[in-house]
């Protein structure tokens, strides 16, 4: 059994595996109108992936961490980074990246698609296909309130990224 994670706004936490967000808005790996569930292989990756989309002037008030259990026997496919165009990490990403996830969802042959993170090199996000026949084996293991450390939102003066304590100890 593998555990993956996602962070959602409280308003969407009642059905965190319905793929509604991707259906409404799309994402790097899927177009609007395609229903998939995005998750990350590590909690820290889920934090970073969500954080890059937060408006620092108006961060969400309540977030929920959703831990998801996936049987190791579920069918899966993994995208090789070498098969992607050189600008796949761009913002916005090239359209062919979303078409990869759209095709995965439409084929319904694999339950999971492991895709490289555009934010953290060497780590992977997991797209879960709720239309796959084995999707019922994917379960929410746990949910809990989640907050980012307030330092994530602090503005730092230019050139001043280290705390005074760290600067005085530096040799």
pLDDT in tens, 66-105: 999 999 999 999 999 999 999 999 999 999 999 999 999 9
The mean pLDDT value for 112-130 works out to 97
pLDDT at 151: 84
Count of domains forming the chain: 1
CATH number at residue 86: 3.90.175
d(CA 87, CA 76): 25
β-pairing, 2-9 with 76-78?
unpaired
pLDDT-based confidence at 161, cuts 50/70/90?
low
Is the per-residue pLDDT at 153 higher than 90? no
Number of helices and strands in the chain (H, E): 4, 7
d(CA 16, CA 28): 19
Asked if 7 and 59 touch (Cβ cutoff 8 Å), the reply is no
Residues 6+ apart with CB under 8 A from 79: 100, 113, 114, 115, 116
Range of the domain at 79: 2-169
The model's pTM is 0.87
Question: For residue 167, how many C-alpha atoms fall within 13 Å in the half-sphere facing its CB?
Answer: 6
Nearest CA among 97, 122, 145, 147 for reference residue 42: 122
């Amino acid at each position: 059994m593998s555990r993956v994670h996602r962070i959602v706004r409280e308003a969407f936490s009642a059905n965190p595996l319905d793929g509604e967000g991707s259906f409404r808005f799309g994402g790097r790996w899927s177009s609007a109108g395609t229903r998939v569930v995005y998750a990350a292989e590590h909690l820290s990756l889920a934090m970073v992936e969500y954080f890059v989309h937060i408006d620092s002037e108006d961060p969400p008030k309540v977030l929920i961490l959703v831990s998801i259990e996936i049987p190791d026997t579920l069918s899966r496919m993994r995208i090789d980074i070498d098969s992607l165009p050189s600008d796949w990490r761009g913002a916005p990403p090239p359209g062919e990246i979303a078409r990869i996830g759209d095709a995965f969802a439409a084929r319904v042959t694999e339950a999971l698609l492991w895709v490289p993170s555009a934010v953290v090199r060497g780590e992977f996000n997991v797209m879960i296909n709720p239309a796959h026949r084995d999707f019922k084996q994917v379960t929410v293991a746990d949910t809990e309130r989640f907050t980012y450390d307030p330092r994530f939102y602090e503005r730092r003066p230019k050139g001043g990224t280290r705390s005074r304590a760290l600067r005085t100890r530096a040799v």
